[in-house]
């Protein structure tokens, strides 16, 4: 059974994952309007993943006797300065999500709630991957600078990456 305090903190995390999904969805939509199909496919996929992170938390809270509350939709920004600005924002946002996950992990140890502690390890690993990927992309964009040709190839690479990720997910869904 979750303590009321942990239940409240996990619900805050549900809200944050929900906002991440909205935030990346807004970025995806903006990128699509800029003709950046690869960037937008990558961001639509990222937005879907954040929604799954939210769902995973809702189900866990409910299973442990709490109540996972569906958060209200907060309006994310509508336009963005550049692709580089988008990925810098993502990196900043992911770093703040990691900090929140770390607080949660701390709280589970203080309460000796080892089940929740164990559950959160998945989020700890996920954050390492997401931060690393965002950092890699920001570095690439720094190299590209204002080179339009470079941006074209970058967009194409992200499109390939998103198509591969979608194909892998489809393959996992197929019965063996």
Q: Which is nearer to ligand OFO, 80 or 144 (CB)?
A: 80
Total number of residues that touch ligand OFO (CB under 6 A):
8
Among 10, 43, 97, 151, interactor with ligand OFO by CB under 6 A: 97
Q: Which is nearer to ligand OFO, 17 or 113 (CB)?
A: 17
Q: What is the DSSP string of 32-86?
A: HHTT-HHHHHHHHHHHHHHHHHHHHHHHHHHHTTS-PPPPPPPPPPS--S-HHHH
Which are the contacts of 81, defined by CB distance < 8 A and separation ≥ 6? none
Which are the contacts of 140, defined by CB distance < 8 A and separation ≥ 6? 154
Q: Is 89 in the site for ligand OFO (CB under 6 A)?
A: no
Q: Is 50 in the site for ligand OFO (CB under 6 A)?
A: yes
Q: Is 113 in the site for ligand OFO (CB under 6 A)?
A: no
Q: Under the rule (CB under 6 A), what is the footprint of ligand OFO? A: 17, 20, 50, 53, 94, 97, 126, 130
């Amino acid at each position: 059974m979750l303590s009321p305090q942990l239940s409240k903190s996990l619900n805050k995390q549900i809200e944050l994952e929900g906002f991440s999904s909205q935030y990346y969805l807004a970025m995806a939509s903006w990128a699509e309007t800029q003709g950046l199909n690869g960037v937008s496919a990558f961001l639509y996929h990222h937005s879907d993943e954040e929604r799954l992170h939210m769902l995973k938390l809702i189900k866990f809270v409910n299973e442990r006797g709490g109540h996972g509350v569906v958060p209200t939709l907060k309006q994310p920004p509508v336009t963005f300065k550049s692709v580089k600005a988008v990925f810098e924002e993502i990196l900043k946002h992911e770093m703040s999500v990691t900090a929140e996950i770390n607080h949660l992990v701390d709280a589970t140890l203080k309460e000796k709630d080892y089940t929740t502690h164990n559950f959160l390890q998945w989020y700890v690993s996920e954050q390492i991957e997401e931060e690393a990927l965002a950092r890699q992309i920001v570095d690439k964009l720094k190299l590209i600078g204002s080179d339009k040709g470079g941006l074209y190839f970058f967009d194409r690479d992200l499109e390939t990456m998103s198509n591969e990720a979608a194909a892998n997910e489809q393959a996992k869904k197929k019965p063996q």
